[in-house]
Structure 1
Amino acid sequence: MPAFTLPFRRPRTRSLATAGSIAVGALLLAACGSGTTPDDATAGGDRAKPAPALHSHIHGLGIDPEDGRLYVATHEGIFTADDTGSPRLVGDSRDDFMGFTVAGARTFLASGHPAPGSDQPADHGLIKSTDAGRSWKSASLKGEADFHSLDHAKGVIYGYDSTRGLLRVSKDDGTSWQNRAQLQALDFAVDPADPSRVVATTAEGVARSTDGGATFGPGEGPGMEYLSWASPGSLFGIDFTGALSLSSDGGSTWRKTATVPGGQPQALTAVDDRHLLAATQDGIYESQDAGKTFTKRLSVESGDHH
C-alpha cells in the first residue's frame, strides 16, 4: 500500500494530492510519433530529434466531448496536442492547474494557483472555462480554497479542499458550497448516476460514503492512488505501481484488470466504461477497451521540478 503525504501543506509546486510514494520531481512532457524531425547525421547514422517538450508535472486529464480532443492540466498551464502531435499550450495561462475535470462540451472546471509573479491570491478556489480552456473566470472561493481533486455528477460538483482536508459540495454550479466530511485523501470519485455515493482513497484503502460525502466508512481493500467512476458499474482505480483495477459494486470489491505502462501514476480519467486515460512516469496512455490494451498518446520523461 503506498505511503501518503498529509494534504495540509500549501507549497505552490505541489502536485495533485501527491502520495509520498510518487517522486516529487517534475516530468518532461513531449509528444511521440509524428512530431519528430531528422537530426544531423552522426557516425551511427541519422537520429530523430524529439518534438518540442514542456517541463511540467501532470495534474489531470480530460477529453472534450465536442471534438474528442485530449486536454492535459499541468503545473504550467493546460496543454493539448497540435496537428503534428506535439504538446501545445491552450490559451496563454501558465497557472498551476491542480484539480481539473471536463464538465461538458468546452466546459472545464479547475483549481490551483496563479503563475509566479502574479498579484492574485495564492489559491484560485474554483475557476471555470466555457471555451475549452482558452480563458478562465473565477466561480467561487477565490483565495479561500485549493481543490486538489474535482468531480461532478447530475449537476452536483464535489471538491477536495487540500488546505483543510475537507470535502465540499456545490449544487448551484459552483457558486456556493457546503462542507462535508474531513478526511485525509489523495483522490475521490462520485457515482455518475447517484451523486450521494462517493469513494475516496485513504491510507487504509478506499473509503465509501452513501450520504453525499457527509460521512465515510473505514478505508478497505487495495490501496489506490487515483479513482475515476465511469458508470455505475465501472469504478476504476490505479495504485502506486500503475496496476489498474475495476470495481463493479461501488468499491466493495476490486478486480485487477491490467497494469498501465510507465510506472507510478499521476492522473486517471475514465471517459466512459471503456475509454480510459492515465498519466504515468513515462507517458500519457489511452485505452479504448477498458484497460485491456493501451496506446501512448504523449511521452513523459523525468526532469527537475521548478
Structure 2
Amino acid sequence: MKKYFPGPAATAAVTVLTLTLALTACTQEPPAADSRDGSPGTALSHIHGLGLRGDTLYVATHDGIHTPDATGRPTLVGDRRDDFMGFTITATGTFLASGHPAPGSGGPADLGLVESTDAGRTWHEKSLGGEVDFHSLDTAPDATVYGYDSANARLRVSPDGVTWEDRAALRALDIAVSPASGETVLATTETGVARSADGGRTFAPGTGQVLSYVSWGAPDALFGVDPSGVLFRGTDTGKGAAVRWARVAAVPGGAPQALTVVDARRLLVATQDGVYESRDGGRTFERRVAVASGQDGH
C-alpha cells in the first residue's frame, strides 16, 4: 500500500483549519461524572484553564474548578459547577474567571468577571455580569486585567476588574500579556501570533507560527503550543518585530486545551488525555491528572 505523507502546504492547511474550528467552539455537553464519589477512572474533560497557587494545581473546566488529590484523582473545589471558559490566577493568588453558570443555577447566561479570594471555594461577581463571556484572561505586572471578549471579538482592559475599556477588535483564541510590560500583548489567530505594542489598542497582523495557546510566565518564559500539541518557545525582541518561535518538543496526548507557564522551567499543558507538567522547560512531561478525550477547551 502506498503511504501518503502530507507536504508543508497540506500540513499548514490542516493546522489553520484546526485553529479555525477552535476559535468558534464553545461546547455545551453534559458535565462529567462527580469526581468526589471515588469512582475509579474518573477523568476531567473540556478544560479551559490551568493555574498554580502555591504548589496546588487548579483546573478550570466545563464543570467547575478541580484539583487533584494525593492519588491524582480530580476533586471539585467548592460547590459551583459553572462553565469557567476563562481562568487565571493573579500574582497575589486571587482567582479570576468568566464563562457561564451551571445549568439550573439561575442568573444571566454570561458570568462576566467573577473573583475568588479563597482558592475557588467561593466566588463573587466583580463586573460585567450578563454582558461578557471572556474566553481568555491575563494580568499585567501592575495588576491590570486583560480579557478577550469572545462574543464581540474584542480585547477589553480594566485597571481594577470593575471599569473596562474596549480596545482592539480581532478574532483570537488566546492572549498573553508580557510580565515585563503591560504594553506588549500577544494573541493567537488563524494566521499566526499577533503582537500589540500599545496595550492591545492595535495589533500587527498575525504572522509566522500558528499557535492555539500562548502563556508568558516570566520575562524569559514565553511559550506557545500549536493545534497538534507541539510546544514552542518564543523570543520577543521588544522592538516591534514578530516573535521568533523555536520548537521544543511534542506534549503527550495530542491536541491542546490549555497552557499556563509558571517560569522558564515549569509549565502546565492540558491535552486530550491529561494535564501534564514539565519542570525542565518543556523537554519532558509528567501527567498530573487524567483527561477524557473531547473537544478542544474553548
* TM-score normalised by length of structure 1: 0.83
- Are 1:145 and 2:136 an aligned pair? no
**Equivalent position to 2:274, from 255, 274, 283:** 283
Match of 1:161 in 2: 149
* 1:13 to partner: Cα distance: 1.8
Partner amino acid, structure 1, of 2:50: L
* 1:233 to partner: Cα distance: 2.8
Give the number of the structure whose residues are more often helix, by fraction: 2
Unpaired runs of at least 5, structure 1: 15-24, 31-35, 37-49
**Equivalent position to 2:50, from 49, 53, 61:** 61
Q: Find the aligned partners of 1:204 and 1:232 in 2 and give their Cα distance.
A: 25
Q: Find the aligned partners of 1:195 and 1:57 in 2 and give their Cα distance.
A: 29
Match of 2:28 in 1: 13
Match of 2:64 in 1: 77
* 1:101 to partner: Cα distance: 0.3
Contact residue 257 and residue 269 of structure 2 kept, 8 A: yes
* 1:231 to partner: Cα distance: 1.8
Closer, same or farther: CA 234–104 of 1 in aligned 2, 3 Å: closer
Alignment map for 1:29-68 (pairs within 5 Å): 51-54=40-43, 56-65=45-54, 68=55
Match of 2:175 in 1: 188
Contact residue 29 and residue 299 of structure 1 kept, 8 A: no
Alignment map for 1:1-306 (pairs within 5 Å): 1-3=15-17, 4-5=20-21, 13=28, 51-54=40-43, 56-65=45-54, 68-154=55-141, 155-172=143-160, 174-249=161-236, 252-302=243-293
Per-residue deviation, residues 231-253 of structure 1 (Å, max 9, x unmatched): 22321000011100011226521
Closer, same or farther: CA 232–273 of 1 in aligned 2, 3 Å: same
Partner amino acid, structure 2, of 1:271: V
Q: Find the aligned partners of 1:72 and 1:301 in 2 and give their Cα distance.
A: 14
Per-residue deviation, residues 163-205 of structure 1 (Å, max 9, x unmatched): 1001000112x01110000000011100011001001011110
* 1:28 to partner: Cα distance: 8.6
* 1:106 to partner: Cα distance: 4.0
Secondary structure in structure 2 of the residue aligned to 1:78: strand
Closer, same or farther: CA 226–8 of 1 in aligned 2, 3 Å: closer
Count of aligned pairs between the two proteins = 274
Secondary structure in structure 1 of the residue aligned to 2:167: strand
Contact residue 140 and residue 175 of structure 1 kept, 8 A: yes
Contact residue 109 and residue 130 of structure 2 kept, 8 A: yes
Per-residue deviation, residues 71-95 of structure 1 (Å, max 9, x unmatched): 0000011000123321100000011
Q: Find the aligned partners of 1:235 and 1:304 in 2 and give their Cα distance.
A: 25
* TM-score normalised by length of structure 2: 0.85
Per-residue deviation, residues 226-277 of structure 1 (Å, max 9, x unmatched): 0001222321000011100011226521100111011000000001111100
Secondary structure in structure 2 of the residue aligned to 1:98: strand
Q: Find the aligned partners of 2:259 and 2:201 in 1 and give their Cα distance.
A: 24
Q: Find the aligned partners of 1:256 and 1:80 in 2 and give their Cα distance.
A: 30
Partner amino acid, structure 2, of 1:269: T
Give the number of the structure whose residues are more often strand, by fraction: 1
Q: Find the aligned partners of 1:279 and 1:74 in 2 and give their Cα distance.
A: 11
Match of 2:11 in 1: none
Moved over 3 A (4+): 5-9, 25-30
Closer, same or farther: CA 5–84 of 1 in aligned 2, 3 Å: closer
* 1:12 to partner: Cα distance: 6.4
Contact residue 146 and residue 156 of structure 2 kept, 8 A: yes
Partner amino acid, structure 1, of 2:155: L
Contact residue 106 and residue 129 of structure 1 kept, 8 A: no
Percent identity, please.
55
